[in-house]
Structure 1
Amino acid sequence: MDPECSQLLPALCAVLADPRQPMADDTCLEKLLDWFKTITEAGSSLLLLQGNPCLVELLCHMLKPQDLSSRVLSFSLRLTGVLAAQEDCFQYLQQGELLPKLFGEAGPLGGAAWTSPTVRGGWIQGLRSLAQHPSALHFLADCGAVDTIFSLQEDSSLFVASAAGQLLVHILGLSMPGPARGPPSLQAGDWPACAQKIVGHIEESLRATATPQITQALNVLTTTFGHCHDPWTQVLWVRLSPLVAGLLEKDPVPAAHSLVDLLLSVARSPGLSSSSCGLWETLAQTLSHLSPTQAGPLALGILKLQDCPQALRAQAFAVLLQPLACVLKATAQDPGPSGVLDGTVGDSMTADMLLPSKAACVGLLCRTLAHLELLLPLPQRPCPWPQAPLLGAAVTLLQLCGGSARPTSDAGRHLCALLLGCVRVQRAALDFLGTLSEGTGPRELVTQVFAVLLEYLRSPDSSPTVLKKAFQATFRWLLSSPKTPGCWELDPHALLFLRDLLPVLQKRLCSPCWEVRDSGLEFLTQMTRHWGGQAGFRHALLASEVPKLTEQLLRDPESYVRASAVTAMGQLSSQGLCVPPAGPEHPGGQQSLLVELLHILSTDSEGFPRRAVMQVFTQWLRDSHADVAGDTEQFVAGVLQVASQDLDWEVRAQGLELALVFLEQTLGQPRSHCPCAGTPSVAAPVGPLAQALQPLCRVRLFEFAFRALFDCDRPVAQKSCDLLLFLRAKTASSGSLQESRSSPHVASVEAALQRWQAGDQAQPLGDLEPEVVLAVLRSLDLEGLQGALAESSDHVEKSPQSLLQDMLATVGVLGENEADCY
């Protein structure tokens, strides 16, 4: 510990021990504890205590009957655990009986302070830090702490209860022998005392009739098998698995969710040989005993396992598919071959699974669809994959929710009544349908897919979120439509669908709901980006009113819609799909779009549209868009002038991205991945280099970048620093350029930059010459600035001495000038 800190520590301990003193907030106490952890990790806790007896006095003071702050008492308990984690310091504290008094019945356990969850949490965390060596285990057994931990598993505070369970896992792992000593015996009497007590408590809890006790035991075991992989875990499972399997004999199965978590944790544990401990049989039993809602997560977890018997995988997949098989059965459709979607599910099973209540039906179907969606992209998904039945089930669910299904059975009609207009199932089914687009299906089913998607996009009853997901699923299915090898054209069926879709899109772009207009614009942008160059798409789009409506949405009252319209119009213009507006107020055809986007950048009151304009302009410059290539310098100069005055830091940062693109194009040298990592190129002759930099000077790129270098928003300054480092690396100077540093113009620019850095950015730099720019560029400590910008916001002062001074200053122990706030 620094001598300065040692001098401040006694005063701080006195403040902490005085209940009359107002104490610093929890953040300061956390930082103080972190500092002590750092000290003990680097050196001896015993030497720390011997060199600072005020710490022991503080801990002893916590034992006096007084009105202590719960935060300070919690801090002291945690600090004691940090110090006692080293065995020699533990023995030192034990000699004065400090540990039993703090953590035993004579301490906070028997006082009023124990009613505070902060104190109970500090007690648990202190023991968690302390329990690192054999002496600690004997102490825990002797002081009765383990029994207290058992009771805290039922604490009213969820944080305390969870911490208590994790502490039991830690103690159990510390008690049991490591791999070098081999697995313990199955005889309880041969196990260490703490382990015997914890395992006995778990056994007792698993035999209990109360579900909370069973849940606590299962959660402790789940964490144990998830974190401990030594040989003793296999012995533990062999000992406890009969009790776990016994839970399946109860009706209903108690704590089913926790039971599933435990079984999957055991199955994933590398320390267990599942085939030799009866785990596969237990998993199969559990699948057959749980309800479909409870069994779904277990079935998904089994199918994610790498090594699992095929019979168990088939059983799990059948459980996962059963609700969809019931849907197909209820609507009098073929659920598919036996073993894929089981066609033997009867009407009574359908009613039991899906029809008891709307909430149960909706919840089961949504979870089933979500589980299958997670399973689909995995390499270990079942093969063969029942693509066609699953497509049929997804389409049927959407028809049931949309009201277009016509079931003939009583179960089907009841199911239709339950699901009609259900937004939750619609969203889940559309997500799943979009995921299924990665596979193939029979033409008639694909036709049904496009038909149901069009139905949802047309329906006036579709909610905005459902419409958004319908647009997303439609785009994915258009992407996956059959194509001729080597050809990216939409196939004839997709083009027919597109002709039906565009009038629907027109209607949605006129929707009174802004979310719907926004979703339609996003969908249009995606389609244009992928198929804007294809004749069939272009012809269909230009024959519609979509481009004109999109242009009108640039003036939408909602800023999100204006931003999406900017992006869509930028994409349409890049593909030559903008319809030239008619009338004398729009001379120049498409050129008017550039003018309108500049107007948005200059005048829009919201940041989203302005950011979208900058992104479009950057992409136009990168792609040499026709309207930009005509007079690139005028374009860049105008955009940078507006962006430099924008109050939104993201607009200014995007302006730097545009400047970097222009700089790369001007120099003809693309940047490396790290702008500052490139090797400087060979020195260029003064004349050609100055000539190459003239366009950058004319558009005032350097003034924009230098001003951004001292921007109050760190991301802007970092981006500017990267740009200038890239430029300096790519324009190695010659000797004659370095001589220009002595010119008066260079000195005036450097003086102006110093004022800018101090916060006075009123004075512009004016016209700059390349020689002056490069001289100023080399005079700046860009590497140092880059390093400072990369540091965290509290890097200026976060020393332990500063922390102690500030904590003392808050209670008036230090004078005002002695505090060093950070």
Structure 2
Amino acid sequence: MDPECSRLLPALCAVLADPRQPVADDTCLEKLLDWFTTVTAAGSSLLLLQENPCLVELLFRVLKSQDLSSRILSFSLRLAGIFAAQEDCFQYLQQGELLPMLFGEVGPLGGAAWTAPAVRSGWIQGLRTLAQHPSALRFLAACGAVDTIFSLQGDSSLFVASAAGQLLVHILDLAMRGPARGRCSPQACDWPACAQKIVCHIEDSLCSIATPQVTQALNVLTTVFGHCRGLWTQGLWVRLSPLVARLLEKDPVPASHSLVDLLLSVARSSVPSSDRGLWETLAQTLSHLSPTQAGPLALGILKLQDCPQALRTQAFGILLQPLACVLEAAAQAPGPPGLLGGAAGDPMTADTLLCSKSACVGLLCCALTHLGLLQPLPQRPSPWPQAPLLGAAVTVLRLCSGSVAPTSDVGGRLCAILVGCGRVQRAALDFLGALSQGAGPQESVTQVFSVLLEYLMSPESSSMVLKKAFQATLRWLLSSPKTPGCCDLDPRTQLFLRELLPVLQKRLCSPCWEVRDSGLEFLTQMTRHCGGQAGFRQALLASEVPELTKQLLQDPESYVRASAVTATGQLSSWALLAAPASPERPGAQQKSLLVELLHVLCADSEGFPRRAVMQVFTEWLRDGHADVAEDPERFVARVLQAASRDPDWEVRAQGLELALVFLGQLLGPRGSHCPCAVALPETAPPGTLAQALPEAAPPGTLAQALQVLCRVQLFEFAFRALFDCDRPVAQKSCDLLLFLRAKAAPCGSPQEAGDSPNVASVEATLQRWQAGEQGQPLGYLEPGAVMAVLRSIDLEGLRDTLAESSDHVEKSPQSLLQDMLAAVGVLGENEADCY
């Protein structure tokens, strides 16, 4: 421990043990515990206590005080657990009877402080940390702690109850490490007394008629099989599995959710390799649970790697049954049995669907969600009933919209329950989007396009439903087959697109900003993926969508303006923004967009649109956009000038990203006849560029590039950003300058890049910037001065400093102790380092 910290500790311990002093806040106490954890992990806890007896004195004084706060008592219990985690220190504390007084019945357990959840939580956490060695197990048995943990499983505080269950698992695992080491699964009679006691408690709880106790036992076992890897877990399952199976004989099955979690946890462990009876238990559980309860178990079974085919078939049938019932109920004429992949409508499932709106909605949403999660998995059932599933999803959506008229009473009741239900609509649209990854017959795909168009046109569709409909539509358009022999969309998809664009046009004029935003997001993604396809281009340019998109740059909602910026940027990249240009003014509308986006960057009051502009400009520069390629130097100068003054750190950081792209173009591969038109290096996250530095540029190219970079005032921006108050900006600037210096390093002296500079004034200005005086500009810099300054700055050291946590100074133990003491007036103001 640092000597200065040892000097401050006695005063701090006195403050913590004094009930008259203001209680330190929880954050300080947590930091203090973290520090002691670090100190004891690096050395001997016993030596720490012997060198700092004030710590033991603190624990004794806490026990004697009657009016100490619950937070300090909880802190002390956890602190004692940290020290006692090492066995020699545990013995040392045992000799003074300190541990029994803290964790036994004579301590907080028997006092008024026990009513505070913080104290009970601290007691559990202290024991959890302490229980690391055999001596701790004997102590737990002797002081009666295990019985207390049993009772805390039903604590009124959910945090305490959960921690108690986890502590039981930890104690059981610790107790079994010795007997199970190097041997096969030990017999139950060989288990340590502590483990026997816990297992007997679990057995009693499983046999209880009280559901909460059954739940507690199942949750503990779920944690055991999820986190403990010893062979003894197989013996534990053999012993307890009959009791678990007996729960299925009760009606209703108690704690069904916890039972499902346990069975899946066991199935993912090593138990199935030694107990094939688990598969039978899973099959029985699927049969005994209600349709709603069985869904999560069925999905979990289908995700298992080594599962019997009969069980997989049963589980898949469980997931399909709700949709099979919907298809049968909505059928205009009786269909063949097993409409959906062999699954027929189950009477129990049908009763659940029709008993109430909440039950129907819950069951359908679960079935749609589970099947959607299953669809992309490699272990999904085969054959996959793609066409029936598409039909079921379309049917559910039409029942919700009221556009289907079932002829049966059951279908009519189902339609009455589902009509207008946004929750089912959103789940069905998500599922429909997931099904786009599989092929389907032409008739089914036509029905999909039809129902998507219906939802996008409907005035009854909520903003969230429309967002889901746009997302599903995008997935189906992008997955549509291309015309043989070309990369264009097939005729059916092109027809749908021509019908869709007038609907999108209407949605871009919606009074609801969320709808306008969703429409713009859809347009952006569609353009990004299909901008080069002739059918898409013709349909889009024949519509008013591009012009409406441009008008939304003036939208009153900042989120919409940001999405409009992104969309117009993408349209412009594909030359889709304007009507055919006149011979006199080719590309005039694209040029006006550049001016408009620059105006947004300089004048918009919200950060989101300005960030979007910077991302668009960076993409334009990287991709060689026509307007940028006309005069890249002027473009970069204007953008950097605006970004450098922006109050939003993300805009400034994106400005540095754009500068890095420009720098990569200037210092491109050797042999390039035009430095501004070369292939670009891949950019990397902050802190990584310097680890993958480029090859050096030839001296001639470097000199030309430095002249350009000085003219666009890139270095004014980058040097100022080095001392930005927002760390990500400073990191990006550091990366950019390291990138440049590495390119230039092998080129020799600064004179080779320019005249010999006098850099004293530049360095003086940078020092003032670092001190917080940001007013004075650097002005125009000569290339030689830039290189000299780059060589004089310790960029590597700055990069390492920036990589540290922003509060690394304040997090120092000495600073923490000083601040806690200063808060109660023990230290003078000049001794504190408050944060």
2:828 is matched with which residue: 807, 815, 822?
Answer: 815
Aligned to 1:437, the other structure's residue is in SS state helix
Which residue matches 1:594?
Answer: 594
Normalised TM-score (structure 1): 0.95
Comparing 544-553 and 452-461, the one that deviates more: 544-553
Shift of 1:667: 2.1
Which residue matches 1:544?
Answer: 543
Which residue matches 1:109?
Answer: 109
Letter of the structure 2 residue corresponding to residue 59 of structure 1? L
| Closer/same/farther in 2, CA of residues 741 and 127 from structure 1, 3 Å limit | farther
Asked if the contact 1:274–1:280 (Cα under 8 Å) also holds between the matched residues in 2, the reply is no
Asked if the contact 1:267–1:274 (Cα under 8 Å) also holds between the matched residues in 2, the reply is no
Equivalent residues in 2 for 1:561-710, closer than 5 Å: 561-579=560-578, 588-669=588-669, 670-671=680-681, 673=684, 674-678=688-692, 681=695, 684-685=698-699, 689-710=702-723
Q: Encode CA deviations 1:61-109: one digit per residue, 9 max, x unaligned.
A: 2332521111111111111112222222222222222222211111111
Comparing 463-472 and 759-768, the one that deviates more: 759-768
Equivalent residues in 2 for 1:16-95, closer than 5 Å: 16-64=16-64, 66-95=66-95
| Closer/same/farther in 2, CA of residues 582 and 684 from structure 1, 3 Å limit | closer
Letter of the structure 2 residue corresponding to residue 729 of structure 1? A
**Alpha-carbon separation, structure 1, partners of 2:589 and 2:34:** 65
Asked if the contact 1:366–1:424 (Cα under 8 Å) also holds between the matched residues in 2, the reply is yes
Equivalent residues in 2 for 1:212-227, closer than 5 Å: 212-227=212-227
Shift of 1:770: 1.6
Asked if the contact 1:581–1:589 (Cα under 8 Å) also holds between the matched residues in 2, the reply is no
| Closer/same/farther in 2, CA of residues 44 and 654 from structure 1, 3 Å limit | closer
Comparing 272-281 and 92-101, the one that deviates more: 272-281
Comparing 593-602 and 457-466, the one that deviates more: 593-602
Which residue matches 2:131?
Answer: 131
Aligned to 2:610, the other structure's residue is in SS state helix
| Closer/same/farther in 2, CA of residues 697 and 53 from structure 1, 3 Å limit | closer
Equivalent residues in 2 for 1:238-637, closer than 5 Å: 238-270=238-270, 272-274=271-273, 276=275, 278-332=277-331, 338=338, 341-342=341-342, 344-345=344-345, 348-349=347-348, 351-484=350-483, 487-579=486-578, 588-637=588-637
Comparing 291-300 and 707-716, the one that deviates more: 707-716
**Alpha-carbon separation, structure 2, partners of 1:364 and 1:421:** 17
Asked if the contact 1:150–1:164 (Cα under 8 Å) also holds between the matched residues in 2, the reply is yes
**Alpha-carbon separation, structure 2, partners of 1:235 and 1:301:** 24
Which residue matches 2:229?
Answer: 229
Shift of 1:744: 6.3
| Closer/same/farther in 2, CA of residues 275 and 332 from structure 1, 3 Å limit | farther
Comparing 378-387 and 530-539, the one that deviates more: 530-539
**Alpha-carbon separation, structure 1, partners of 2:344 and 2:276:** 33
Q: What stretches of structure 2 of length at least 5 have no aligned partner? A: 670-679
Aligned to 2:324, the other structure's residue is in SS state helix
Aligned to 1:132, the other structure's residue is in SS state coil
Structure 1 position 722 matched with structure 2 position 762:
no
**Alpha-carbon separation, structure 1, partners of 2:757 and 2:590:** 46
Shift of 1:165: 0.6
Asked if the contact 2:756–2:784 (Cα under 8 Å) also holds between the matched residues in 1, the reply is no
Letter of the structure 1 residue corresponding to residue 562 of structure 2? A
Shift of 1:788: 1.2
**Alpha-carbon separation, structure 2, partners of 1:336 and 1:227:** 47
**Alpha-carbon separation, structure 2, partners of 1:681 and 1:70:** 62
| Closer/same/farther in 2, CA of residues 760 and 362 from structure 1, 3 Å limit | same
Asked if the contact 1:690–1:770 (Cα under 8 Å) also holds between the matched residues in 2, the reply is yes
| Closer/same/farther in 2, CA of residues 44 and 690 from structure 1, 3 Å limit | closer
| Closer/same/farther in 2, CA of residues 486 and 109 from structure 1, 3 Å limit | farther
**RMSD after superposition:** 2.3
| Closer/same/farther in 2, CA of residues 688 and 85 from structure 1, 3 Å limit | closer
Shift of 1:377: 1.1
Asked if the contact 1:738–1:775 (Cα under 8 Å) also holds between the matched residues in 2, the reply is no
**Alpha-carbon separation, structure 2, partners of 1:739 and 1:284:** 79
Aligned to 1:88, the other structure's residue is in SS state helix
**Alpha-carbon separation, structure 2, partners of 1:699 and 1:106:** 76
| Closer/same/farther in 2, CA of residues 441 and 194 from structure 1, 3 Å limit | same
**Alpha-carbon separation, structure 1, partners of 2:330 and 2:535:** 38
Comparing 336-345 and 30-39, the one that deviates more: 336-345
**Alpha-carbon separation, structure 2, partners of 1:4 and 1:308:** 61
Q: Encode CA deviations 1:556-605: one digit per residue, 9 max, x unaligned.
A: 11111111111111111111112259999999443211111111111111
Letter of the structure 2 residue corresponding to residue 262 of structure 1? L
Aligned residues: 817
Q: Encode CA deviations 1:669-691: one digit per residue, 9 max, x unaligned.
A: 44465432345745744x55323
Q: What stretches of structure 1 of length at least 5 have no aligned partner? A: none
Aligned to 1:322, the other structure's residue is in SS state helix
Asked if the contact 1:508–1:517 (Cα under 8 Å) also holds between the matched residues in 2, the reply is yes
**Alpha-carbon separation, structure 2, partners of 1:682 and 1:498:** 50
**Alpha-carbon separation, structure 1, partners of 2:231 and 2:68:** 46
Comparing 662-671 and 303-312, the one that deviates more: 662-671
Letter of the structure 2 residue corresponding to residue 802 of structure 1? S
| Closer/same/farther in 2, CA of residues 708 and 498 from structure 1, 3 Å limit | same
Letter of the structure 2 residue corresponding to residue 91 of structure 1? Q
**Alpha-carbon separation, structure 1, partners of 2:209 and 2:7:** 58
Asked if the contact 2:180–2:186 (Cα under 8 Å) also holds between the matched residues in 1, the reply is no
Letter of the structure 1 residue corresponding to residue 187 of structure 2? S
Q: Encode CA deviations 1:608-655: one digit per residue, 9 max, x unaligned.
A: 111111111111122222212222222221111111111111111111
Shift of 1:738: 4.9
Shift of 1:420: 0.2
Asked if the contact 1:681–1:732 (Cα under 8 Å) also holds between the matched residues in 2, the reply is no
1:753 is matched with which residue: 766, 770, 773?
Answer: 766
Asked if the contact 1:335–1:343 (Cα under 8 Å) also holds between the matched residues in 2, the reply is no
1:767 is matched with which residue: 773, 780, 791?
Answer: 780
Shift of 1:743: 5.6
Identical positions, percent: 78
Shift of 1:196: 1.7
Equivalent residues in 2 for 1:120-199, closer than 5 Å: 120-176=120-176, 177-187=179-189, 190-199=190-199
Letter of the structure 1 residue corresponding to residue 186 of structure 2? P
Normalised TM-score (structure 2): 0.94
Shift of 1:315: 0.6
| Closer/same/farther in 2, CA of residues 694 and 232 from structure 1, 3 Å limit | same
Letter of the structure 2 residue corresponding to residue 250 of structure 1? K
Asked if the contact 2:28–2:816 (Cα under 8 Å) also holds between the matched residues in 1, the reply is yes
Shift of 1:152: 0.5
Letter of the structure 2 residue corresponding to residue 804 of structure 1? L
**Alpha-carbon separation, structure 2, partners of 1:206 and 1:722:** 60
Shift of 1:786: 1.2
**Alpha-carbon separation, structure 2, partners of 1:577 and 1:628:** 17
**Alpha-carbon separation, structure 2, partners of 1:492 and 1:681:** 49
**Alpha-carbon separation, structure 2, partners of 1:463 and 1:802:** 54
Comparing 549-558 and 289-298, the one that deviates more: 549-558
**Alpha-carbon separation, structure 2, partners of 1:818 and 1:702:** 40
Comparing 656-665 and 205-214, the one that deviates more: 656-665
